Amino acid sequence: MTTIESHVERLRSRLLRQGTVPGVASEPRARASAVRVAPEHYDFAHFPEMRQYERTCWYYENQGFQWNMYREHAGVASAEVEIDGRRVLNFSSYNYLDLSDDVRVCEAAKRAIDVYGTSAGAGRIIRGEVPLFGAFERELAETLGVEDAVMGVSGWGVNAGAIGFLARKQDLILYDELVHNSMLIGARIGGARRFAFPHNDYDALEQLLAEHRKQYERVLILTEGVFGMDGDIPDVPRMIEIKRRYRALLMVDEAHSMGVIGPRGLGVVDYFGIDGADIDIHFSTLSKSFSTIGGYVAGSRALVTMLKHYASGIGLYIAAPNPANAAAALAALRIMRAEPERARRVVANADYLREQAVAAGLDIGPSHGSAVVPIMQPDSETAMWMSARLFDAGVFAFPMIFPVVPRDGARLRFFLSTAHTREQIDRTVALLVQLKASAPAPKGLI
Ligand SMILES: Cc1ncc(COP(=O)(O)O)c(C=O)c1O
């Protein structure tokens, strides 16, 4: 056999083993396989995660309620939404300012589609700039009191991409234990050393800085403007004071605070009356108050320039956002600035739910001042049961259970919007009280 023939033969046998030789029926894997491998390592149906999903479905169906997270919704997710053909009260959408069907936002997005079509066609560096991106970024930077901003395709991706780019092996990340998954995954990307500090424990943060600051080059401190699961607001001015002393960089995830907290609803800068430049890295998703999809980072010109040119998932290795997303975000930003009463209304609605819930003996955790209100439950099973029974009674509030929250932190999470009414909130609290009284005793199984 010539060298070429033996090479072709080796290739053919390899492809045969993989069952990928064109025109040749693949051999049964068991016979073709040279090694014995347990099916849970190559067959998705046997993956432990799939088995766990099936066991969970089986368990809940036997308890008499569905484990179906992909129920069909119709129309806009506002204070009410249609699910499986039923109109229900909706507390599971973060359409805080109720702008996702606002005629000004919709018209702006439609106009952008008329001009640019439904896709930017390539990454921003490659295709050149759609002016709408810059228009949104400039107006956002001005709103936050910083030099510049960059928007990207998804909140999750921009958050993870920015952190992954900024923190390398020789750097340190100190993060509040409750920050969002996009921050946690971003923190892993660059291989930086990571330590969590207990939720809102600034003494613990300072202790970590005192102990470790000197061994690292850059130090990133990560927190949220409003914590998405608990609805509480950290002491950002205190964190600014600490990060200054240690020459660290503070990043605040404003997914649940931008558009909501502060006298004008413009997030932590507005709420605490601080300078935009006091926070090194402003992040938010565009999927909540901005009523579209995408994410941004805002801060100094140097920060934004680096992210635009070098950060994977923001400027590199990713397509540009849809121009219609930038148009919708810009229209939403202008409404936010022109109509601060929207922010006041959503927080007033949440305050009303908090007051009524506490008066009725329900546990709202540490929630305050924001549009996120958890109603704590003794365990995951009770949270699931409560959510299912609420849904039967026409109220949609999603259960948050382990691993999204700690095992002992099961809850129903309520997102309020400007569109909710007092009557809807009263009805919901009355139902919660009634259901709490009739809930089966917690079994503590999950
Ligand atoms: C705190 C926080 N950060 C980041 C994100 C990611 O944003 P998106 O879902 O728009 O990608 C979310 C999404 O829910 C969030 O709650």
Grade residue 32 by pLDDT with cuts at 50, 70 and 90: low
Q: Give mean pLDDT, residues 410-422.
A: 97
Judge if the beta carbon of residue 151 lies within 6 A of ligand 1.
no
CB of 285 within 6 A of ligand 1: the answer is: yes
228 pocket-lining for ligand 1 (C-beta < 6 Å): yes
Centroid of ligand 1 to alpha carbon of 285 (angstroms): 6
pLDDT > 80? residue 189: yes
Out of 3.90.1150.10, 1.10.3720.10, 3.30.160.160, 3.90.1490.10, the CATH code matching 68-96+341-438 is 3.90.1150.10
Residue 7 reports pLDDT greater than 90: no
Q: How much distance in Å is there from the Cα of 203 to the middle of ligand 1?
A: 27
Does any ligand 1 atom lie closer than 6 A to the CB of residue 225?
Answer: no
Give pLDDT, residue 31: 58
C-beta of 349 in contact with ligand 1 (< 6 A): no
For residue 347, the model assigns a pLDDT of 98
pLDDT in tens, 250-288: 999 999 999 999 999 999 999 999 999 999 999 999 999
- For residue 238, report the distance from its CA to the centre of ligand 1, in Å: 24
Q: Does any ligand 1 atom lie closer than 6 A to the CB of residue 156?
A: yes
In angstroms, what is the span from residue 163 Cα to ligand 1's centroid?
Answer: 14
Q: What class, spelled out in words, does domain 103-338 have in CATH?
A: alpha beta
pLDDT tens figures, 308-320: 999 999 999 999 9
Residue 364: is its pLDDT beyond 70? yes
CA 104 to chain CA mean position, Å: 25
User: How far apart are the CA of 363 and the centre of ligand 1, in A?
Assistant: 25
pLDDT-derived band of residue 194, with 50, 70 and 90 as boundaries?
very high
Of ligand 1's atoms, which has the minimum distance to the CA of residue 224? Answer: 1
Task: Report which ligand 1 atom has the smallest distance to the Cα of 294.
Answer: 10
Ligand 1 pocket test, candidate residues 93, 178, 182, most atoms within 8 A of CB: 182
Substitution site in 184, 185, 285 for ligand 1 pocket (most atoms within 8 Å of beta carbon)? 285
- 87-121 pLDDT, tens digit each: 999 999 999 999 999 999 999 999 999 999 999 99
Amino acid 64: pLDDT: 72
CA of 156 to the centre of ligand 1 (A): 6
Task: Say if ligand 1 is within 6 A of residue 180 CB.
Answer: yes
Cβ of 230 closer than 6 Å to ligand 1, yes or no, is no
Q: Is 284 in the pocket of ligand 1 (CB under 6 A)?
A: no
Q: Which atom of ligand 1 is nearest to the CA of 182?
A: 4
Confidence of residue 71 (pLDDT cuts 50, 70, 90): confident
What is the rounded average pLDDT of the residues 374-395?
A: 93
Distance 361 CA to ligand 1 centre (A): 31
Ligand 1 closest atom vs CA 287: 10
Helices 380-392 and 422-438 cross at an angle (nearest 10°) of: 130
With a pLDDT cut of 90, the percent of the chain lying above it is 81
Ligand 1: nearest atom to the Cα of 286: 10
Binned at pLDDT 50, 70 and 90, residue 128 comes out as confident
**Quick check: CB of 255 below 6 Å from ligand 1?**
yes
Question: How close is the Cα of 182 to the center of ligand 1, in Å?
Answer: 7
Mean pLDDT of the residues in the chain: 91
